[in-house]
Structure 1
Amino acid sequence: MDLLRSLPIGLYLEQPVTWLHHLDSRVKLAWLMSFLLAPLLANPYWRLALVLLLILITLTAAIPLRVWRQQMGWLLMLSFFVLIVATFAPDGLKVDHQPRLPANGLTFAEPSPISETPATESPRLGDLPQPTSYKYVLYNLDQGFLRLTVTRRSLDLAIRLSTLIFTLIYSTNLYLLTTAPEEITAGLESLMRPLRRFNLPVTEIVLTLTLSLRFIPLVLEEVQNLIRSISTRAINWRKLGIRNSLQVWLTVAQRLLENLLLRAEQIAKAMTVRGFTSPNEHRVQWHQLRLRWWDWAAVGSLIIFWGLRLGWGGMV
């Protein structure tokens, strides 16, 4: 088990360099926030369009199959499972209702007390033609113990849940996959620069974020080493019992915390030896942020994206 390759958290794809890598981090951050906010109060068609758009971006970027096959495969499987479960789950609404008028309430003719000619039979409410083809229950299967019902509300809820899970997770993963941690922090510092007027420590916040992103692979490496050390000892968990097993895992957790604190102390000593006193005095520019023509094209596409969202993607 290799956590550094199997988990997509905080990983950056250095090779091959795709067209997503060349985009400015601020533009990609704007697109990421658009993918996170666009599903709110959107219709099901727009939510499905977002999923297709993310898949299309991945295919056009020519990201290697080995990188996104496992991640997107499991995510699509999870989203499809949520879609199936929520579709056939009860929608929480009582479909059966009492009609406003009685069944024989429409009477166009009544027999006259003088004439003995019987009146014509009046039509019933259920025999009248419906003005539209609207049906609340889309599918109903009732065969003994097997009862499956799909309503408009359950289908709409299933599409919302499944597409929201896929959009939120995969859009964030795609952003981290094609954007270096230094680019992320440089873009955030550029966007947060106006906050310095309110005496907010923008540079300190950005430095903390940079160290946090760099610290995530170290955490995964420590977890991986501890798991391998336990697996090589061939511990018989059945003989240990629940109490002894918990003591072993508590020892492992304590060791993990000690190793992480040791790594943090080593990073702090390395910064101190290099004369680092404050971020304002020792600023390192990793990337020169500059908008090029493809960045402006992405901004124009973002404007079209929100125009379609406001004009067509809203709830009916």
Structure 2
Amino acid sequence: MDLLRSLPLGLYLEQPQTWLHKLDPRVKFIWLMSFLTSYSFANNQWRILLVALLIIFTLAARIPRRVWQQQMGWLLTLTFLVFALTAVFPDGLGINYQPRLPANSQALAPLSNTAKATNEPKQVKTSKDYNYILFHQGPVKISRRTLDLGTRISTILFTVIYSTTLYLLTTAPEEITAGIESLMQPLRRLKIPVTEITLTLTLSLRFIPLVLEEIQNLIRSIMTRAINWKKLGLKGGFKVWMIVAERLLENLLLRAEQMASAMMVRGFTSPNEHRVPWHDLRLKSWDWLAIATLTIFWGIRIFVGQQI
């Protein structure tokens, strides 16, 4: 088991370089925030459109199938299961729904004659095709509320997870921190330590593979010892895992200390005095095209995707 390669989230695809890789990280970050915020107070049609756009972007970027199948396959399965379970669950409203009109249509005849005699306005005809319960077969009951709720939860789950996954897949950690630092420059006027924050973010992103490597090594060490978990029982198994967790914490603290020592040996004192420009952030023609497309995106969201 190789967690560094098999983990489906948070991986950066170095090769091949797609057109998503070539976009400015600031533009991609703004697109990411647009996906994460535009589904708020939106109708279900817009939320489904967001899911379709993410899939279209993935296919249009020509990301290898082995990558997006691993990234997207399990997430689509998870969201489908969430949608199915939410749709068949009770809607939470403990009300026995009854038809608004009586089963016998002749019962309305005296009322209509009275209305004609008193010159009152005629009753508005209601649509008989409307049904609150869309499907009811045995214990399975799907109502309009549960279907709407299932669509909301599943689409939001997919949008939040996969949009961030696609962003991390096509953006290097150094580009992410450089783009966030550039966008946070106005906060310097409020005396907010922008450089320190971005340095912490960079070290955190670099530390994630080390955490995965330590977890992987500990799991392999347990597997090679062929521990008989049935003989240990619940209490003995819990003690073993507590020892593993303690060892993991010790190894991570040791790695963090080694990283800090390496920075001190190289004369690092503060981020402002040891700035290393990893990327030259300049907006190019395709970046401006992405910004123009983002304007169209929000225009459609405001005029079409608004929840009524």
TM-score normalised per structure 2: 0.91
Give distance in 2, aligned partners of 1:96 and 1:179.
Answer: 51
Among candidates 252, 262, 267, match of residue 270 of structure 1: 262
1:297 CA displacement: 0.4
Residue by residue over 1:103-147, the C-alpha shift from the partner in whole angstroms, topping out at 9 and shown as x without a partner, is 74651699xxxxxxxxxxxxxxxxx96446322222222xxxx22
Give distance in 2, aligned partners of 1:189 and 1:43.
Answer: 34
Query: Contact (CA 8 Å) 1:18, 1:63: kept in 2 or not?
Result: yes
Q: Aligned residue for 1:237?
A: 229
1:48 CA displacement: 0.8
Give distance in 2, aligned partners of 1:136 and 1:62.
Answer: 43
Give distance in 2, aligned partners of 1:26 and 1:108.
Answer: 66
Q: Aligned residue for 1:125?
A: none
Query: Contact (CA 8 Å) 1:10, 1:216: kept in 2 or not?
Result: no
- Greater shift, 305-314 or 95-104, is seen at 95-104
**SS of alignment partner, residue 90 of structure 2:** coil
Give distance in 1, aligned partners of 2:227 and 2:180.
Answer: 47
Root mean square deviation, CA, Å: 2.0
Number of aligned residue pairs: give it: 295
Among candidates 177, 187, 198, match of residue 185 of structure 1: 177
Query: Contact (CA 8 Å) 2:9, 2:71: kept in 1 or not?
Result: no
- Greater shift, 259-268 or 9-18, is seen at 9-18
1:84 CA displacement: 0.9
Q: What one-letter code is carried by the residue in structure 1 that aligns with 2:235?
A: R
Residue by residue over 1:51-70, the C-alpha shift from the partner in whole angstroms, topping out at 9 and shown as x without a partner, is 11100000011111111212
**SS of alignment partner, residue 107 of structure 1:** helix
**SS of alignment partner, residue 272 of structure 2:** coil
Residue by residue over 1:202-255, the C-alpha shift from the partner in whole angstroms, topping out at 9 and shown as x without a partner, is 100000000000000000000000000000000000101111111111111111
Change (3 A) 1:65 1:102: closer
Higher helix share: 2
Q: What one-letter code is carried by the residue in structure 2 that aligns with 1:96?
A: Y
Give distance in 2, aligned partners of 1:194 and 1:294.
Answer: 25
Q: What one-letter code is carried by the residue in structure 2 that aligns with 1:138?
A: L
Q: What one-letter code is carried by the residue in structure 1 that aligns with 2:80?
A: F
Please state if 1:291 is matched with 2:291.
Answer: no
Please state if 1:223 is matched with 2:215.
Answer: yes
1:183 CA displacement: 0.5
Unaligned 5+ residue runs, structure 2? 114-123
Among candidates 186, 191, 195, match of residue 199 of structure 1: 191
1:99 CA displacement: 5.3
**SS of alignment partner, residue 282 of structure 1:** coil
Q: Aligned residue for 1:46?
A: 46
Change (3 A) 1:134 1:227: same
Please state if 1:134 is matched with 2:130.
Answer: yes
Give distance in 1, aligned partners of 2:48 and 2:101.
Answer: 38
Unaligned 5+ residue runs, structure 1? 111-127
Give distance in 1, aligned partners of 2:128 and 2:54.
Answer: 36
Give distance in 1, aligned partners of 2:103 and 2:82.
Answer: 41
Give distance in 1, aligned partners of 2:216 and 2:37.
Answer: 35
Please state if 1:175 is matched with 2:139.
Answer: no
Q: Aligned residue for 1:107?
A: 110
Q: Aligned residue for 1:16?
A: 16
TM-score normalised per structure 1: 0.89
Change (3 A) 1:131 1:102: closer
Q: Aligned residue for 1:165?
A: 157
Q: Aligned residue for 1:308?
A: 300
Query: Contact (CA 8 Å) 1:51, 1:163: kept in 2 or not?
Result: yes
Query: Contact (CA 8 Å) 1:138, 1:150: kept in 2 or not?
Result: yes
Identity %: 62
